[in-house]
Amino acid sequence: MKNLNFVAMILMIIGGLNWGLIGFFNYNLVTSLLGDASQMTKIVYCVVGVCALYEAYCFLKSKGSAAS
């Protein structure tokens, strides 16, 4: 489980950096590397989104167990 948390966190950081590049410079690194609206681009976005949901779940789970 520790490895899964590490991979999820790395992918979330990559996603966050990509959003920062979009916001500051109007540059999308994922589409630059994989193509605009390609299947791989969609897969990367889906995986990053799933990782974010997983990390949110882990965070909320840890908050709930800390309150008990």
Q: With 0-12 CB in 10 A as exposed, 13-18 as middle and 19+ as buried, what is 67?
A: exposed
Q: How high is the pLDDT of residue 37? A: 83
Cβ 9 vs Cβ 54: under 8 Å: no
Domain housing 16: 2-67
Give me the residue label for tokens 């789970």: 61
Please tell me the total count of domains within the chain: 1
More confident position, 51 or 64: 51
Confidence at residue 68, expressed as pLDDT on a 0 to 100 scale: 52
Q: What are phi and psi of 36, to 5 degrees?
A: -75, 125
Taking only the tens place, the pLDDT of each residue in 29-54 is 999 999 988 899 999 999 999 999 99
- pTM given for the model: 0.79
